[in-house]
Amino acid sequence: MRKALHILSLLLLTALLPAGCARDVLEVEKPQLKVRIRIPSGTEDTKTVDPSSAELRINNLRLWVFLAEDAGGKPAGTCLGYLNPDKAQISREGTQEFSFKLEEAVAKAKPKVNVYALANQGSTGLNVNQLTSATTQAFLDEVVLGENRFGVQSPVTAVPSGGIPYTACGKNIVLSGTFPVLEAGLFTLTRVVSKIHVVLCQAVDEAGTMEAFSVQSITLNEGQIPLRENLFNETSAPKISPEYHSTALSFPVPSPIAQNPECDTYVYKSTMGDQEYENLINAGISQGVLSDCGVYYLKESDKCLTGTITYTVGTEAPKSVNFSMKTGENFSRNHDWIVYLYFIGDAIEFSVSWTEWTNGGNYYLTPDD
């Protein structure tokens, strides 16, 4: 009888409250954790290179939150929530957010958490059955892009149908907010891979080409791209296997090579904006004064990448010249490298530059319950 009276009293109290207050009461009884995700966009950041629409495409998204410490009677490593919103929700613009329901004991403990996000699973080689609410933190910490993904043996020269893989990872996150609504903060999805783009030309003056010139090969040297790369990495340093591909990666050599009366125009200068330089290179390709040797999407590396171009001048024996990044640089994830090779007189010159891919703007996504 007492239980019935208690329920009746609660119903009467709710009925007496204004509509807004009644809704607030109900919401307060549901502890939750909010996670904001930054998704790349080609229009939000003019300081970094705007990637193609295919590179920006997000086909699917998965998000996990784990306990980083014991809390609410649950051990560290417990999965507090998993979300897999449908594509319509991912592509929806506006200020949105992910919301995870929490048990009251956990929410009141306000524990530190670990957050993992993965987009475009289809290009990682992972089966969807491996990425569910049952997925463990230990699995995510160890999962890798394998040898046949964005490597040297089966090079990726265009955005695959599954899209470019993106991840975000944050560990030991201190929650903000107050019970019952807690917040884990903002996490930015970044591309797991980087890309390298090679362009080429030969100087020409009013009298024509300076020398008879041909290119036999352009290669990225062996022993630089790792066999495996961890998908999730909360640091800026590459997280890779100690083994590397033992074969070189060859870029296609166009024929004939574009003739260019102003080769120096296309050398990267520190006064140029990143997008400005990208636009300049693309314009040169469109105008036929630069030859496009193609793009490769590759796993990140801790190496300072080097390559070799082999060419001949007139009837001379073939010559080889090495080109490289600057000492101290490496091929870490989410970077866009342009290698510009140009032949002047009887010598090859080169310009190697990089920028981060656009990180984009804020999109807050709320999957349906």
**Domains in the chain, please, with CATH?**
31-192+359-363 (2.60.40), 193-356 (2.60.40.2630)
**What is the residue whose two structure tokens read 């990666």?**
249
Q: Check pLDDT > 80 for residue 313.
A: yes
Which string of b and e fits 103-119 if b means at least 16 CB within 10 Å? eeebbebbbbbbbbbbb
Pick from 112, 118, 119, 230: which is nearest to 171 by CA?
A: 112
Instruction: At 36, list the tokens.
Output: 């904001």
Please tell me which residue, 183 or 276, carries the higher pLDDT value.
183
How much of the chain, in percent, has pLDDT values that exceed 70? 81
Q: DSSP for 24-66?
A: HHHHHTS-EEEEEEEE--SSS-TTSB---HHHH----EEEEEE
Burial tier of 183 (Cβ tally within 10 Å: 0-12, 13-18, 19+):
middle
Predicted confidence band at 184 (pLDDT cuts at 50, 70, 90)?
A: very high
| Mean pLDDT score across all residues of the chain | 84
pTM of the model: 0.84
Q: Check pLDDT > 70 for residue 14.
A: no
Please tell me which residue, 21 or 103, carries the higher pLDDT value.
103
Instruction: At 345, list the tokens.
Output: 């007189």
Cα–Cα separations (whole angstroms), residue 335 to 30, 59, 99, 292, 297: 42, 21, 31, 19, 10
Q: Check pLDDT > 70 for residue 366.
A: no
pLDDT at 95: 42
**What is the residue whose two structure tokens read 């939750």?**
32
119-138 confidence digits (pLDDT tens): 999 999 999 999 999 999 99
